[in-house]
Structure 1
Amino acid sequence: MHISSLVVVVLSLLTGAMASPGDDLWATIDCKYQCEQISCENNRHYYRIHPDRYYNPSWRFTEGPLPKYLEWLAWDCYSNCDYQCQRIITEERRNNHEEIYQFHGKWPFVRVAGIQEVTSVIFSLGNLVVHGLGLKKIWHKWNSIPNGPAHDRLKSQYINLILMTLVSMGAWIFSTIFHIRDLDITEKLDYYCAGLTVLMGFHTLGARFGELYLESNANYRYAFSAICAVSYAGHIARLVIDWSYTYNMRANIFIGILQNICLVGICYYIYSHYYYLEQDNKSTQNHLKYIDFRAIILPSFFSRSPKLYSLYPLMLGIIVILGMSLEIFDFPPIFYDLVDAHSLWHLVTIFPAYFGWYDWMLWDIHENVWPHIQQVELLNVKKNE
């Protein structure tokens, strides 16, 4: 499983810009109207013309042109009024010991230098960095592979892994942009790239599970890739024509389930292989040279044998599942209204990618896939003699 793909499934399930209780408060509506009239329309005496509107002289709003850094992040007077009123109403409710509400599907965070969700931005960048480090490892191994027909089969698995990692990095870039500034275009790009991450994870693991790296399965490999590409094009077309959070959620969950089935199948196959090798006293410790003992969870257990190491991705998946509770048991922002459950969820997703996911994939490719390719090639040679 590509860990960030499960992340996307959860985010698709639990996020979406829908109406929130804070949007419907009369105080919010009147506050925004007052701010817009005073700050944007320069109409300081609007309440004399519109006596039906609630006027609160204690509300204070930013006046004058917005700072350049806000304009650069696409803030204007009206969106700035929206932000200011979220903060004003939230503080009023907090002082009155009332429940804190969301606005536009988000908690009322404190804006930092124009950034709407600064901790989610930081942790999204953290995810980008760890996947970048993973790509560096993959690229180093890729460049060490010699040329040759059999090695070309091996490279096909590397191509899948490289593309999957690049797409994941793209997803975290767009996640960062989206959390910097929530706009219609940034939201859609975030969702489009997130959906592609799910599909690329399924494509990589599906190809591995189906042994499509073998030459005898070349036609299936091309067909599988074509089906995935057409499916994604259709998915995007569906969202462009009729944007639906429900459809997007269901599509991601469906592909995510298929992806996890492939992962479990791969781990079961590898575990069984080393189990029987152990029974015949033929097992080796080929996994140790791929493990970074500074970045592995429960090293005394998973480094004990390749049979146990084959289950390591399931351990990483457990971490992701535990992290889901942060989203399920959501709570208003803490630490000066900067940190919420969603940002902590982004923090949790850093750990699986850092703690050995890419090391495990390299081990699988070189110690499981490559010997299988060599074995099949040798059988083909003997068959043709």
Structure 2
Amino acid sequence: LLVVVATRSSIASEGDELPEFISCVNSTIAAQCSSSTAQQQQQQPLYLRLTLWTCEDNCRYNCMHSVTDARPGPMYQFYGKWPFYRLWGIQEPASVAFSLGNLYMHYHYLRMLAKEIPTKYYLRPFILGYAAVNINTWIQSTIFHTRDLPFTEKLDYFSAAMSILYSVYYATLRIFQIDDRRKQLLLGGVLLGLFATHMFFMSFVAFNYVYNMIICGIFAVLQGAMWVMWYFVVGYLRQNKRVLSYGHWVLYATGANALTVMLEVFDFPPIGRVFDAHSLWHLSTIFVAPLWYHFVILDS
């Protein structure tokens, strides 16, 4: 509801429609990229070749910054993204650094969970699976923010959707105490089918950002609502003192997660062309993970 209320009409990518940008790109490409593709690649610095920057991509990058430098007034987005200063070919250095921070956090807790979670606990493999799924998500996020290409974008979006769906899966198994293997597989199969359908639509029908946001938002809210209801129903209404003694940690994690999403809703131009709202969102989620894993360990 907050996303819907905060949404307002906007032109997402006005910068690449500017006449001076189009003129700069056309003239620069004509001057610098007239040779064969192989020759163009050899002329590029090694770090740009390793990060898959073509001659044309490099011209667009340079024109984006030259137009932004010369143009007064508000900063524009180009091809749906803010103009960031790259580092060694890395397209969005801040988001890459903070994605690696999240990756480390989930890896750290995967090792801790393997030691702390009782081996006979029926949810142990699913808890470890949660950490593993999130490790993959942050690997894909690191790759995508290093270089925004169609295939890296899909991997990033699909991995993020997978982590959200897996959160719903784990919440359902825990809250309803589903320890029957057949029921676990059935629920997993249903959610996997939904995920496959989502990937098919995004890959072969339309890579629709609004649709993706709505679907991921629905499941993220569902997962958070499930935990909040579990805590109040089991803890307060049923007066389960054990749950009341530690269950508040899941409220902290859910609340913190909801607050960090505000950085995605209220976007702003990058500070120093490095730190934008999205990169700061990645920074904030580093500190949410310990709240969640602390709850999981106590709950086990």
- What's the TM-score once normalised by structure 1's chain length? 0.70
Distance 1:64 1:223 in 2: 53
Distance 1:169 1:276 in 2: 33
1:143-182: CA deviation from partner (whole Å, max 9, x where unpaired): x53xxxxx3xx2x311111111111110000000000000
What's 1:323 paired with?
Answer: 260
Q: Share of identical aligned residues, percent? A: 34
Quick one: which of 165, 172, 175 aligns to 1:199? 165
Q: Secondary structure at the match of 2:43?
A: coil
Q: Which has the higher contact order (CA 8 A, sep 6+)?
A: 1
Quick one: which of 27, 30, 45 aligns to 1:67? 45
Moved over 6 A (4+): none
1:215-257: CA deviation from partner (whole Å, max 9, x where unpaired): xx44432321221122222222222221322332222122223
Are 1:345 and 2:255 an aligned pair?
no
Contact 1:32/1:81, CA 8 A, preserved across alignment: yes
Deviation of residue 39 (structure 1)?
1.0
Shift of the 246–341 alpha-carbon distance from structure 1 to 2, 3 Å rule, reads closer
Distance 1:321 1:229 in 2: 25
Question: What is the identity, as a one-letter code, of the residue corresponding to 1:25?
Answer: L
Deviation of residue 87 (structure 1)?
0.5
1:66-121: CA deviation from partner (whole Å, max 9, x where unpaired): 1011011110110000000000000001xxx3211011111101111101100100
Deviation of residue 134 (structure 1)?
1.0
Distance 2:94 2:199 in 1: 29
* Aligned 1:247-326 pairs, distance under 5 A: 247-272=211-236, 275=239, 277=241, 307=244, 309-326=246-263
What's 1:295 paired with?
Answer: none
Task: Mark the structure with the bigger radius of gyration.
Answer: 1
1:246-270: CA deviation from partner (whole Å, max 9, x where unpaired): 3322221222232122212332244
Shift of the 37–126 alpha-carbon distance from structure 1 to 2, 3 Å rule, reads same
What's 1:223 paired with?
Answer: 186
Deviation of residue 64 (structure 1)?
8.3
Quick one: which of 121, 137, 149 aligns to 1:171? 137
1:299-322: CA deviation from partner (whole Å, max 9, x where unpaired): xxxxxxx62531122122222222
* Aligned 1:119-138 pairs, distance under 5 A: 119-138=94-113
Deviation of residue 351 (structure 1)?
0.4
Shift of the 36–255 alpha-carbon distance from structure 1 to 2, 3 Å rule, reads same
Distance 1:359 1:135 in 2: 12
1:11-54: CA deviation from partner (whole Å, max 9, x where unpaired): xx99xxx9501011001100101110111127xxxxxxxxxxxx
Q: Which runs of 5+ in 2 are unaligned?
A: none
Contact 2:41/2:49, CA 8 A, preserved across alignment: no
Shift of the 126–67 alpha-carbon distance from structure 1 to 2, 3 Å rule, reads same
Q: Secondary structure at the match of 1:196?
A: helix
Q: Secondary structure at the match of 1:105?
A: coil
What is the number of equivalent residue pairs in this alignment? 288
Contact 2:103/2:135, CA 8 A, preserved across alignment: yes
Question: What is the identity, as a one-letter code, of the residue corresponding to 1:71?
Answer: R
Shift of the 254–328 alpha-carbon distance from structure 1 to 2, 3 Å rule, reads closer
1:272-324: CA deviation from partner (whole Å, max 9, x where unpaired): 388454xxxxx7xxxxxxxxxxxxxxxxxxxxxx6253112212222222223
- What's the TM-score once normalised by structure 2's chain length? 0.88
Quick one: which of 18, 27, 30 aligns to 1:25? 18
Question: What is the identity, as a one-letter code, of the residue corresponding to 1:268?
Answer: F
Distance 1:231 1:177 in 2: 25
RMSD over equivalenced CA pairs, Å: 2.4
1:174-201: CA deviation from partner (whole Å, max 9, x where unpaired): 0000000000000000011111101110
Question: What is the identity, as a one-letter code, of the residue corresponding to 2:232?
Answer: Y
* Aligned 1:61-100 pairs, distance under 5 A: 65-93=43-71, 97-100=72-75
Are 1:236 and 2:171 an aligned pair?
no
Shift of the 22–227 alpha-carbon distance from structure 1 to 2, 3 Å rule, reads same
Question: What is the identity, as a one-letter code, of the residue corresponding to 2:268?
Answer: F
Shift of the 276–186 alpha-carbon distance from structure 1 to 2, 3 Å rule, reads closer
